[in-house]
Chains A and B, each alone.
Chain A
Amino acid sequence: MTKRGSISRARAWGIRVAAVILSLIVCAIVIVVITKQNPIQVYAGIIDGAVGTKRRLWVTIRETIFLLIVAIGLTPAFKMKFWNIGAEGQILMGGAVSAALMIYLGKTLPNSVLLILIFVLSALAGMIWGLIPAYFKATYNTNETLFTLMLNYVAMQIVTFCIVYWENPPGSNTVGVINASNQGGWIPPLFGTYGMCVILVTAVTVFIAIYMKSSKQGYEIAVVGESQNTARYAGINVKKVIIRTMMLSGAICGFAGALIVSGSSHTISTGTAGGRGFTAIIVAWMSQFNPVIMVVVSLFLAFMQQGAIQIASQFGLNENASDIITGIILFFLIGCEFFVNYKVELIGKHKEA
């Protein structure tokens, strides 16, 4: 096994496409063995589930953009090699702040003012959730992976507390749909249910793409990520960059929380983030932090997820069947990166050569 010196782009993508095809074949085998269903029908079910009706299409788009914006939020941090696995918590904090604003101000403030307030304050909440681990990393060099992970649980407990506090109707142990009557603090539809969210996410994506590629701060992030020694040598204040970048990363994730709460669910629960904070890590890595590819990867994952939900009900498989299919595909996709970077040789072969 040796590391490849370099590999042509076409070949690398060839390997990835081969991985997708292989994974679909393996999925088909699994489906046949476990369920005795015709795999072609199952795949047709997936497509139907993802884009079959207008509503399903919008749901797929919604899931895509939510995944995308979290991945975009993680990008600056990951580019800096700051392993922020706390997006889940940052989303929850943003979502909790949005829900609070909707509950307390939803009946008094005009919707536009309230929405701006929601966006700013939820971003601020996510920012604080990103700032805490960044400060400790920059000052005491604590391990950011554990720190951000633990903060997820803290955020979850805060949300649990809020649910008890805001319970509606009493005894349901949920918050219920907030402001169902006047839709205060709801993001209004535009060209369709989630049009406004699409525009907002696109704006953030474009901004981050430019920020990372052409700005001075983006350059600093890249240098710090590659080598802190080089950064210090070049006169970059490493501490400042770590804190600033994590604030940005956290703010975007917090903003994502606002989009989820005010734009889609109109409620808050511990499941509001729905694992997107983790799935987005896969999105960010698989697209190698390229925002355009991120769109494609998010779309693919959302597509599979929605399709899988459909087949689960259509064929009477339980919910986990969808996870199995997504899992198999991800396994192949992530695994294929190994073959992009390494080539495998068998030692036995050498002797004949």
Chain B
Amino acid sequence: MNTVEEYAIDLSGVTKRFGEVVANDHVDLKLKKGEILSILGENGSGKTTLMNMLSGIYFPDEGTIKINGKEVVIHSPKDAFELGIGMIHQHFKLVNVLTAAENIILGLAGSGRLNMEEVRGKILELTGKYGFELDPDQKIYSMSVSQKQTVEIVKVLYRGADIFILDEPTAVLTPQETDRLFEVLRNMQKAGKSIIIITHKLNEVLAISDRVSVLRKGKYIGTVDTKDATVESLTEMMVGEKVSLDIKRSEPKDPHLRIKMQHVSVRNKEGVVKLNDVSFEAFSGEILGIAGIAGSGQKELVEAIAGLQTLENGDIFYEPPEGKEENLSGKTPDEIRRLDIRLAFVPEDRLGMGLVGSMDLTDNMMLRSYKNGGRFFADRKTPKALAEDVVRKLDVVTPGVGTPVRRLSGGNVQKVLVGREIASSPTVLMVAYPVRGLDINSSYTIYNLLNEQKEEGVAVICVGEDLDVLIDLCDRILVLSGGKLTGIVDARNVTKEEIGMLMIGGKG
């Protein structure tokens, strides 16, 4: 009896299918009381599906769920709450115009008059106990991402949950904020709370958790004590084979100026300044990394060069290998193309901007080339040959070039997109979050492709979110904070903490 009681959550044989896809295949998972368990797995390995079944969003097809030793049926998020399970989603669900305290009590049943003083007192008690920094009266819209996350966590605590599930909590945080979050989580653990963290950042797994459970392709692979694990051993469990995690970085050869941005400012549709007086240069034969907290202007920076943003101020010059320099500011993508400037751009939103999900590989290759050739009819032969070429060279797994790209997996979608962009033999290659959502093997394929382009003398600009990777891959790293350029550092002599300071606007 006691042995069973020891587990806060005990899943056995849990299976969830979506059509023919088995998202979770007989998963057994145990969360001990008062421990921090990491669930590790690549994208598509079924981590989020599994957690959604615990929080009542999905209902399992098979298997049993025991909470604190008792078998339960979780039909809805409300059931999950009553069992003391609280989930902190990757995308926050907060009302912007309300204060932290108002958001925290939102949706709670109360009796009679609402006593805001009492609520505030209870919140302050919680924040004091666990070491949060939170002002209950601050409005959500004026908060940073990490503060919003704090509100989400306190919200769950306030409701008296004792099992916490955090879905990729560190994805949007700077290194310093991550440390602070971990501090809080440890305090919660000391107070007897049980915590599950979903993540794919191995270093963080090693830093925070007591045990690690690994999922691969919907199957439960195993659980190890964190103290016995290494980055290599966990990767092997995740991928199922040994993977070399080294990125070769060569010295830039014969660098020439390609892109010169001068005092560029950009506002978004709502009139908010997204880029504020940014100036930098990018050279051929080097990889320039762009780092920053999500939404600091990275997207606008690369889109400005691609001709997709209206500049409020400033100029962007393109320096071709031969011939005279061109001012790209105010030019549309089509005008840039007609100047025969070979800018390749792999946007962040692959299926919403770089590709058309419902179209097949051939038609997606056409996006860049359909204007060539005759007046009325579109040429589909050349794109088809290109599609076949990309499939062969980059090992794209697809039933054929006639398959809609939406049906491909994330990694293959990205290979199609990068393949098309590289095929134009660009002089400047811009990639935004090139490995987001990709498995480890595909990620390294992309890193290698970027390195190849660099060695061929292309000026590569890479917006990234994993600082460890940026530091290993890039030659220089440009850091943005709230649309301002806070520094350009040499990637060979910089630490993650230094970049983290620049990301929050400090002097590095």
Contact = CB atoms under 8 A, between A and B. Distances in A.
Interface of A: 2-6, 214-220, 222-223, 226-227, 229-230, 232-237, 343, 347, 350, 353
B114 interface: no
B19 A353 contact: no
B383 to A, nearest CB: 10
B447 interface: no
A216 B378 contact: yes
Contact of A216 (B60, B370, B407): B370
Contact of A233 (B61, B75, B353, B377): B353
B333 A232 contact: yes
A252 B251 CA distance: 61
Given A226-B359, A237-B332, 15 more contacts: A2-B18, A5-B20, A216-B375, A216-B376, A216-B378, A219-B366, A222-B363, A230-B352, A230-B367, A233-B306, A235-B333, A235-B334, A237-B334, A343-B19, A350-B60
Interface string B331-366: 011101100000001010100111111110001001
B168 interface: no
B359 A222 contact: yes
Contacts of B308: 232-233
B62 A353 contact: yes
B111 to A, nearest CB: 32
Contacts of A4: 19
20 contacts: A4-B19, A6-B19, A215-B376, A216-B370, A216-B376, A218-B378, A222-B359, A223-B356, A223-B367, A230-B354, A230-B367, A233-B347, A235-B332, A235-B334, A235-B337, A236-B334, A347-B59, A350-B60, A350-B61, A353-B61
B371 interface: yes
Nearest to B375: A216
Contacts of A350: 59-62
Nearest to B373: A216
B356 A227 contact: yes
Given A223-B356, A226-B356, A214 B378 contact: yes
Contacts of A233: 306, 308, 333, 345, 347, 353-354, 367
B334 A215 contact: no
B408 to A, nearest CB: 13
A236 B334 CA distance: 7
B21 interface: yes
Contacts of B21: 5
Interface string B34-69: 000000000000000000000000011110000000
Interface of B: 18-21, 59-62, 75, 306, 308, 332-334, 336-337, 345, 347, 349, 352-359, 363, 366-368, 370-371, 375-378, 380, 407
A226 B370 contact: no
Contacts of A6: 19-20, 407
B333 A234 contact: yes
Contacts of B368: 234
Nearest to A236: B334
A56 to B, nearest CB: 41
A6 B21 CA distance: 11
B334 A230 contact: no
Nearest to B335: A235
Contacts of B371: 216, 235
Contacts of B19: 2-6, 343
B197 to A, nearest CB: 28
Contacts of A216: 370-371, 375-378
A5 B18 contact: yes
Nearest to B20: A5
A220 B367 CA distance: 9
Contacts of B377: 214-216
A195 B341 CA distance: 54
A15 to B, nearest CB: 16
A226 B367 CA distance: 13
A251 B20 CA distance: 45
Contacts of A218: 378
A259 B31 CA distance: 73
A219 B332 CA distance: 20
B14 to A, nearest CB: 12
A283 B336 CA distance: 42
B434 to A, nearest CB: 16
Contacts of B363: 219, 222
Contact of B352 (A214, A219, A229): A229
Contact of A230 (B62, B355, B380): B355
B358 A226 contact: yes
Contacts of B345: 233
A2 B20 CA distance: 12
A345 to B, nearest CB: 9
Contacts of A237: 332, 334
Nearest to B407: A6
A255 B454 CA distance: 57
A173 to B, nearest CB: 48
Nearest to A220: B370
Nearest to A351: B73
Nearest to A232: B308
Nearest to A229: B353
A349 B18 CA distance: 16
The 7 A-B pairs at the shortest CB distance, nearest first, are namely: A5-B19, A235-B334, A235-B333, A234-B367, A229-B353, A226-B356, A216-B378
A184 B355 CA distance: 53
Nearest to B350: A230
A347 B75 contact: yes
Contacts of A227: 352-353, 356
A237 B378 CA distance: 17
B353 A215 contact: no
A20 B61 CA distance: 33
